[in-house]
Structure formats: structure tokens, C-alpha cells
Copies of this chain bind each other. A is one copy, B any other.
Amino acid sequence: MSEKTSASRVHILAAAIPLFARRGYSGVSMRDIARASGIQAASLYHHFPDKQTLYVEAMAQAFADKAEGFDKALTQTGSAEERLTDLVLSFTRLMSKDPDFCALLQRELLDGDETRLKQLAEQVFKQAFVAIRGLAGELVPGCDSHMVAISIASLILYHLETAPIRPFLPGGKVHHNKPEVIARHVTGLLLHGIKGCAK
């Protein structure tokens, strides 16, 4: 076992991830992380040289876990339309099951420097992004598949991100938070435009 996977390290990172997800980097103190992981603040410095490093490694951990899940969601068969439908549902379920990951992603988009965003793009999203782009290119040859892939992601993620404010906007219903409802809506929109959102 390398030092990267010692039990305490992993334990500390697992405790830190939900804290960073909910309160952000500057909203979490080393003492908070110590309390959550059940050890003294000074002991954290035996495993990580400083808070920055602990944070970056917590992100790496959270995102590595997710990259695996993404790859599984990509093994689809059937027609291009069926694969799109399945893929949207898989990703919507995957993301809605993990609000911490969604929050960390949001926070990195807001606060991440170039280095971290590049890592995130290449190590977490690239494979899934390429698959979605390929599917878009298959469905609509000659389209700007980069933009289409971003649009697919945006539709799934924003319905989840706006969950806390939607109850206060007209027409918001509880079932709008169900992954199956979101996925159905998104698929209809992608395949047929807003006409595809008819009941």
C-alpha cells in the first residue's frame, strides 16, 4: 500500500468531502474536519502538509470515485435514440444520488483555478464527454457536438441544482425532483424540442 491509500488518509478525506461540498473551502476549518473525522486538528498535519493540499486531495478522491460510475453508465446498446435515452437516465440517477458531488462540481466551476479545472476535465469528464459527443454526432451529423454535450449536461444538472429554489417558482411540484421525471423531460426536449415536452 502506498502512502496515498493509508486508512487514516482515506478516512479524513471521506469526512472532509461532505463538509467542503456543503460549506466550500473557506467555510470549513481544519478543526471542523478534525471534529468530523474524530481526530485532533494537529494530527491532520501528519497526513497532509496544509489545508490546500487536503482540499485538493479530497476533490481528487471525490472525483475519482465518480469517474468510475460514469464509465459504467456509458456501456449502452441499441439505436442511437435508445442509447441517448438510457444515458440521460443513467446520468440523472447518478447525479441525483450524489448531491455532494454536484455541489463540489459547482464550487469548482466557481472557484477552481486552471490546474484543477484541467484535471477535472481530463480525469473525470473527458471519457463521458467524448461518448456523449460521439452520440450527438451520430444523431445529428455535422452538428456542433461540443455544444450539444454541454447542453445535455446543463439540462440534467440544472434541474438538480435549482431544486432548492423551484418550490418558490410558479408551477414547482415535488415530483420535479425525481430523476425519472427529469430524465424523461430532458430526453423529450433533446429528441423533439419543447414539442417533445407535451404530456
Knowing A151-B185, A159-B151, A197-B148, the reply to whether A133 touches B26 (Cβ < 8 A) is no
Task: Report if A153 contacts B (CB, 8 A).
Answer: yes
Identical subunits present: 2
Q: Does A130 contact B (CB under 8 A)?
A: yes
A141, A171, A195, A196 — most chain B CB neighbours (10 Å): A171
Count, chain A residues at interface, CB 8 A: 69
A112 proximity list for chain B (CB < 8 A): 164-165
Give 18 A-B contacts (CB < 8 Å), ordered by A residue: A23-B26, A24-B24, A24-B26, A24-B27, A107-B110, A114-B164, A117-B164, A129-B170, A139-B195, A140-B198, A146-B176, A148-B189, A150-B162, A150-B166, A151-B159, A154-B158, A154-B162, A193-B196
Given contacts A117-B164, A147-B159, 19 further A-B contacts (CB under 8 A): A107-B110, A112-B164, A117-B165, A118-B168, A120-B165, A121-B165, A121-B169, A133-B170, A140-B194, A140-B197, A146-B170, A146-B172, A148-B197, A151-B185, A151-B186, A154-B157, A154-B158, A157-B158, A190-B194
